[in-house]
Chain A
Amino acid sequence: MIAGISIYEIFTLTSILFFIGIYGFITRKNLISILISIELLLNASAVNFVVINKYLYPDVLQGVFFSIFIIAVAAAETALAVAIIINLYRQISSVEVKDTEIMKY
């Protein structure tokens, strides 16, 4: 626990992070930026788990373990996404969303 900071402040922080992630995912025009937005989402949840564990249920470490797994899975997901984006870049020399529109509706 951090002295002088209650759980509400941290929840506010993670909620803001979460919605920045959603907003970024919807509005960004670049595939890499979209990937960064997804990272924000995942990290908001990871912080949430640790904080809930520490402030509300400190006896068992379920939340902390969960956040470790989130970090590991997020790394795998990012690696795969970057690989796929690089493969796309090789073919169209661009990572812009507007260039990935040959399939629509």
Chain B
Amino acid sequence: MDLNSVIAMRQEIFLLAILLLLIVGEIFMHKDKKGSLVHLVLLLFGIHVIIGFFAIEESSLFGGMFRTNTLIHFFKNTLNVGVFIVLLQSSDWIQEKMTPLNKGAEFFMLLFSSLLGMYFMISAGDFLMFYIGLELSTLPVAALVAWETSKRISSEAGVKFILSAGLASGVSLFGISLLYAATGSIYFNDVIAVLASTNLTILGSILFFVGLAFKISLVPFHFWTADVYEGAPIGIASYLSVISKGAAVFILMILMFSVLKPLIQVWENIIYVLALATMFIGNLFALRQQNMKRFLAFSSIAQAGFILLGLITGTQLGTATVVYFVLVYIFSNLAAFGVVQSIASQTGKENRDDYNGLYRTNPNLSLVMMLALFSLAGIPPVAGFFGKFFLFAAAASKGYYLLVFLAVVNVTISLYYYLLVVRAMFIRKNENPIPFFKNKIYMKLGLIFSVLGILVLGIYSPLYDYIFELSNVFNK
């Protein structure tokens, strides 16, 4: 291991160092002083986020098992920023609820292990590294979903999550074994060279697809989503919906645009059907949800359907639009989850009817929520509009007019239920609304960062050009 490999794996190594430091801190810190651990972790992770932005060169390590380039590096930074916001938003919850139970440090350890798994997953150069990364990113989250061990709903969500995850990874592994049988290698580069469209490879790649479709919660594999989001601690629900989904979309895109490119004819049909099913079922089920966490879960399923519109194209434009949309989606969803979390942690209320008249008592929070929902729905001044617009443009450039039309119909449906929440907050009257409260500083920072993200992504267009420039890596 020489200096170059250390530099190429800089983010992984630094995160691992934070992880080890946490273990040492957990063992040697006095019990009364563990409350300060949260500040320390936020500081260290903040440094990690900033260090991550220094440029990295394209390189490949361990005989091609680990590779990195500018696009992967960019995406890792995106995940970093997202996790940082998740940490900011859930730090009060950890400090108030978890530290007294002596469960604060483990929370960070598991979350960081999961993030480490995602790093390895998105820079994997072969199926083995990919599989280990996938499992490393899923298993700690299962423990975190069942984190509130005294709550029945949390354990139930944990059981549902880990059993579904096990099924998905088992099916996915069988698919990898069939691909291995057909190509004789598990390295992506060797697979690209010999992969041909035969029945065996088609079956293998479809089975393989299941594992990632589970993480993105596409429609036949979405049953766990709403239950797990409802039962999990809200910080973990937002982590699952944003970071985990984003990383899975990214690696799925890399694999489809490079490794499984010879099977593009098959993919187009599958993605077409799945995109329609995901959008319609996600949106229609979101209409009837009262609980805000379930509501956001179905809305995130519907958003995954929109992402598939970018994946269907397989061009540089497709890559750029998917990365940009995921970026927008991360900030918008984090803002929405942040508001839900701050209200739930202050008052314990999670239903839409409880939000009636929120604008009278908490105008700032309702404005943040409105901005986030407008961004998710795709209303022009904010970033979500451009994200959706580019996705539709990418799909239309390949001639999928019917698909784009049905997607626009879905945007209209989704507008209805997003505006239901806005109506509840701004127009509806309530006898006893949620009283005025002040957020703690970390929660405020988390909300401010996500709102800044929504606004900057919407207004500052050179960012999209920058992403477009990066995205030619896989389409040479």
Contacts and interface: CB of A to CB of B under 8 A. Distances in A.
Given A80-B143, A87-B149, A69 B166 contact: no
A56 B184 contact: yes
Given A87-B149, A103-B156, A38 B167 contact: yes
Nearest to B166: A38
B155 interface: yes
Interface string A78-104: 001101110110011000000010111
A85 to B, nearest CB: 6
Contacts of A18: 174
A87 B167 contact: no
B126 to A, nearest CB: 8
Contacts of A65: 128
A66 B181 contact: no
A83 B149 CA distance: 11
Contacts of B264: none
Given A45-B177, A56-B181, A84-B158, A103 B231 contact: yes
B10 interface: no
Interface in B117-170: 127-128, 131-132, 135, 139, 142-143, 146, 149, 152-153, 155-160, 162-163, 165-167, 169-170
Nearest to B174: A45
Interface residues of B, number: 41
A20 interface: no
B159 A100 contact: yes
Nearest to B154: A87
A62 B174 contact: no
Contact of B162 (A48, A57, A80): A80
B185 interface: yes
Nearest to B172: A45
Interface string B87-105: 0000000000000000000
Nearest to A62: B186
Contacts of B142: 80-81, 84
Nearest to B227: A103
A87 B163 contact: no
Nearest to B138: A77
Contacts of A57: 184-185
A52 B180 contact: yes
Interface in A49-86: 49, 52, 56-57, 62-63, 65-66, 69-70, 73, 76-77, 80-81, 83-85
Given A73-B132, A88-B159, A102-B156, A42 B173 contact: yes
A77 B142 CA distance: 10
Interface residues of A, number: 40
Nearest to A52: B181
Contacts of A35: 163, 166
Contacts of B146: 84, 87
B252 interface: no
B176 interface: yes
B171 interface: yes
A52 B177 contact: yes
Contacts of A77: 135, 139, 162, 165-166, 169
A81 B162 contact: yes
Nearest to B288: A105
Given A41-B174, A69-B131, A100 B160 contact: yes
A57 B182 CA distance: 10
Contacts of A73: 131-132, 135
Contacts of B135: 73, 76-77
Interface in B348-378: none
Contacts of A45: 170, 173-174, 176-177
A45 B177 CA distance: 6
Contacts of A69: 128, 131-132
Given A31-B159, A80-B143, A41 B153 contact: no
A38 B163 contact: yes
Interface in A5-47: 18, 21-22, 25, 31, 34-35, 38, 41-42, 44-45
A52 B181 CA distance: 6
Contacts of B176: 45, 66
Interface of A: 18, 21-22, 25, 31, 34-35, 38, 41-42, 44-45, 48-49, 52, 56-57, 62-63, 65-66, 69-70, 73, 76-77, 80-81, 83-85, 87-88, 91-92, 100, 102-105
11 contacts: A41-B167, A48-B181, A62-B185, A66-B128, A66-B176, A69-B128, A83-B143, A84-B142, A88-B156, A91-B152, A103-B153
Given A81-B142, A105-B226, 9 more contacts: A22-B167, A49-B177, A66-B128, A80-B139, A84-B143, A84-B146, A87-B149, A87-B158, A104-B227
The 10 closest A-B pairs by CB, nearest first: A41-B170, A45-B173, A48-B177, A38-B166, A88-B155, A84-B158, A103-B227, A57-B184, A52-B181, A91-B152
